Amino acid sequence: MTGPRVVCVGLATVDLVYRVDRLPGVDEKAQARSADYAAGGPATNAAVTAAALGADVTLISAVGAHPLGDLIRADLATCGVTLTDLTPGAPDPPPVSAVTVLAATGQRTIVSRNAADTDAGVPAGLAALAAEADAVLVDGHHPAPAEAAARAARRLVVDAGSWRPVFERIVPHADVVACSAAFRHPDAGAPGPAATVSVLRALGARHVAVTRGPEPVLWWSGRHTGAVPVPPVRAVDTAGAGDAFHGALAVAVARDPDLTDLPAALRFAIDVAGVRVTHPGPRHWLTALPPRRTGS
């Protein structure tokens, strides 16, 4: 049986992931326990997660013709993700992220460049692809195609990791805005998530969730609000955990387009992210997803 159709629009990077016993100081060196290379970026990691959960996934991103783009294309093909390249002839390398994971705690530091310098237009057929999908996820990178997909989407999930001006035009179309604890709308006067959530809901977001690492996920829906606990796990690698959460949430929305039970969708996403953080490396965790999560 074919799984739900999910379209992800946003950043694709090459991730170089080092696992170390200690973070080096200034002018110091550290020997890595391991090194992994994989496609990365919020929308890309969400797409890989959704595909592992049984969805039929298309990623719309800028990769280009540089040899480093071949790594992204090969990894996505292995993970069962179809790529629509926004800049197929671009000679420049795709963004590269250096990710260092501390072995003892799973905490990570990241040095990266996003796609701010990439001029990606709206490809022909994007609106139709988004309209046919059971769920669309956007991360705010590549603003023009992100906005076009948001306008066409039947069900839209927004990965709001950090504020981007395009969110002002995307959020009014959102069914779910999933914010990180650090996300702040510039018009939110008070600190804390409540003020930002109030602005997002005023813009038109139907449902809003705020992730806070190991703390409960807060949610707002209509007149209701609540918190979904995050089960304790032994984290060994937190890189991409939020992206896995968003990919799983997109699958949950695709399977229940009316979002009759937002807390259940969030629990599903929390559960998947919990699997992610208990396995080292960018891809090893995918094989640990129980069979009951796959399929339609």
Compute how many other C-beta atoms are within 10 angstroms of the C-beta atom of residue 47: 35
Inside any domain, residue 193? yes
In this prediction, residue 292 has a pLDDT band, given cuts at 50, 70 and 90, of very low
Q: How many domains does the chain have?
A: 1
Query: Mean pLDDT score of the chain, rounded to an integer?
Result: 92
Q: What is the mean pLDDT of residues 223-231?
A: 96
Q: From residue 232, how far is each of 15, 45, 60, 280 by CA, in Å?
A: 27, 23, 34, 17
Of 226, 228, 163, 252, give the one whose Cα is nearest residue 200: 163
Domain at 65, CATH number: 3.40.1190.20
Tell me the per-residue pLDDT of 152-199, one tens digit each, with 9 for 90 and over. 999 999 999 989 999 999 999 999 999 999 999 999 887 788 899 999
- Residue 215: pLDDT over 90: yes
Contact 249, 157 (CB under 8 A): yes
Residue 27 lies in a domain: no
Asked whether 269 and 245 are in contact (CB, 8 A), the reply is: yes
Segments forming the whole domain that contains residue 177: 5-13+42-96+116-290
Q: What percent of the chain is modeled with pLDDT above 70? A: 97
Q: Is residue 158 part of a domain?
A: yes
Whether 24 is covered by a domain: the verdict is no
- Which is nearest to 196 in space by CA: 222, 231, 220? 220
Q: Would residue 37 count as lying in a domain?
A: no
pLDDT in tens, 68-127: 999 999 999 999 999 999 999 999 999 998 888 888 888 888 887 776 667 788 998 999
pTM of the model: 0.92
In a domain, 110, yes or no: no
